[in-house]
Amino acid sequence: MTQIRFALAQIDTCVGDLDANADKIMRYVHLAAKGRAQVVVFPEMTLTGYPIEDLALRRTFRQAAWDKANWLATELAADGLGDLYVAVGTVGTDHASDKPKNRMVVLHDGVVWAGYDKHFLPNYGVFDEFRIFTAGERSVVLDIDGVRVGVAICEDIWQDGGPVAELAGRGIDVLMTMNGSPYEEGKTHVRYDLAVRRADEVHAPVIYVNQVGGQDDLVFDGGSFVVDADGTLLARAPMFMEHLGFFDFDADAERQGAGEIAPELDPDEEVYTACVLGLKDYMAKNRFKGVCLGLSGGIDSALVAAMAADACGGEHVQGISMPSMYSSDGSKDDAADLAANLGAKYDVQPIEPLFVSYQKQLDLEGVAAENLQARIRGVIVMAYSNAKGLLALATGNKSELACGYSTIYGDAVGGYAPIKDLLKTRVWELSRWRNKAAAAGVGIGGLGIVGNERSGAGTPLPGGVMIPVNSIEKAPSAELRPGQKDSDSLPEYALLDQVLAAYIEHAHGRADLLADGFDAKTVDTVMRLVDRAEWKRRQYPLGPKVTALAFGRDRRLPITNAFRE
């Protein structure tokens, strides 16, 4: 009877940090060996981090990665682990063309086996691999103790035909895939359905190992899993955390035995945790110890501050209240209450004296005077960032970013924007969810955060509320003039977000939007605002992608664009 234990090593790596990535691979192989695994599978491009973008074009980087793979093989053998089969993703070189390849290598008996090169190179959305890599041209079957293991890399299983179709005709016993599939809301079920189709195609179980962690504007959610030949879910790793899981394959069994199956997350928790992990990893991998941001008392800055506290601990969050002559007492109180709830540092920097000084020289009116207030606040936030070595957070949401409802070099300043891919209505939903989680003492998925404790402080909150209820319920306003409300300049968010979702994420034009049932005035207003704001979006900080289409690499429209519908 032939049995093989596979270890699914779902780990978080950093692009370019070959030494740290190799050390983590070593640690997980040792753990897998203690768990009696014979095969250890890591995510796509584990050794180099992913995506490496134009680093792949640098010959010296490719050579360093290859040297590190050889070092790994040698060290594993020296540690008595040479009999394991360790599948690692890295960058290779096509010797005929001297161009890079997205490669899986197998470390065994102290050497790097000739690997498998990714066949299908994604060239859509956030992916641009066709420009960087040379595609592989053959399928590969590994014979591991008499078990025929077909291998594939990420996009290879998303496309009909190609290596999976070839493997279906080669009588494989297991399909083993390594993946770097970024998170987006609702994608987990899409992956599972895809794996079920491929399992049926090859008549064998499918092992799907996915990367976890944040890399610039991408968040990888992990969620590695195994499905049987009939589509039965056999194992599933938790989302948003590193994990080592096991799958025992029995070549003589008609059906494979089930292992650990992590529960699914609440949809709001999923999105919230993705944003937190994106910020947490961006800070860690770029060596930021803390953050600073303006606290206005509004819902956007409140949600960003809560995410920051969950990412790095409330004591590492520097909130700055910057009231003007138009700021309400309620907003100032809400900002102070939020900082207290989070255990954050809190300073008050009134901007009126600075505004008066500017006005003595500039004498601005209307929108220019309103924007001046926002830009003074931006200067203060960046001053804190420079002086204290903190990561400045921009607090704008996707609705504002879409419509250009922000001040460039004002509230748009910062190094990272945690909610830039959340529509305003989603901001409210996640804020309510975070308060419910705090009240219930529910942990935040994968991050080990207890819901009813201050991040880093451990003191229970009164009633479990993190975000002041007034910040959630009051009418949104930038408070740049007396009585100002967002609805003075924009359609109500409940309507606006529906139009934005159709126009941006589904690429509906004017005729489509009218057919969707939206009125012509609203459609024309929203399209005009979105089309005119492209230049602002290009200058906005990066932030985590959590929807199917985020501003940035997903959506590339010209700034100079005279087309109007």
Binding region for L-glutamine: 124, 181, 187
- Gap between the Cα atoms of 424 and 120, Å rounded: 37
> 200: how many CB neighbours lie within 10 A of its CB?
15
Q: Which of 44, 184, 269, 370 is catalytic?
A: 44
Using DSSP, state whether 113 is helix, strand or coil.
Answer: strand
Label residue 110 left, alpha or beta by phi (over 0 means left) and psi (-120 to 50 means alpha): left
Q: Are 505 and 398 in contact (CB under 8 A)?
A: no
CA dist 112 and 47 (Å) reads 13
In contact, 197 and 189? CB cutoff 8 Å? no
Rounded distance between C-alpha atoms, residue 287 and residue 263, angstroms: 32
Looking at the DSSP bridge assignments, the partners of residue 111 are 108
Residue 233: which residues within 8 A CB-CB, separation 6 or more?
Answer: 192, 225, 226, 227, 258, 261
Closest CA to 132 of 108, 104, 89, 99: 99
456 in Cβ contact with 311 (< 8 Å): no
Residue ranges of the binding site for ATP? 294-301, 395
State yes or no: is 154 an active-site residue: yes
Going along 262-344, which residue ranges are E strands?
A: 291-294, 317-321
Phi and psi torsions of 359, nearest 5°: -70, -30
Catalytic residue (choose from 118, 280, 420, 424): 118
Q: Give me the catalytic one of 14, 75, 154, 403.
A: 154
Does residue 513 contact residue 498 with C-beta atoms inside 8 Å?
no
Closest CA to 179 of 223, 241, 228: 223
Q: Verify whether residue 44 is a known catalytic residue.
A: yes
* Long-range contacts from 191-194, C-beta under 8 angstroms, 24+ separation: 191/223, 191/225, 192/225, 192/227, 192/233, 194/157, 194/158
Annotated binding site: 124, 181, 187, 294-301, 371, 395, 400, 536
* Binding-site entries for deamido-NAD(+): 371, 400, 536
Phi, psi of 19 (to 5 degrees): -65, -50
* Alpha-carbon distances, residue 230 vs 227, 250, 255, 258 (angstroms): 8, 15, 8, 13
**Does residue 118 carry a catalytic annotation?**
yes
DSSP state for residue 223 in the 8-state scheme: -
Q: In a 3-state reduction of DSSP, which class is residue 165?
A: helix
Distances (CA, A) of 51 to 21, 67, 182: 14, 20, 10
Active site residues: 44, 118, 154
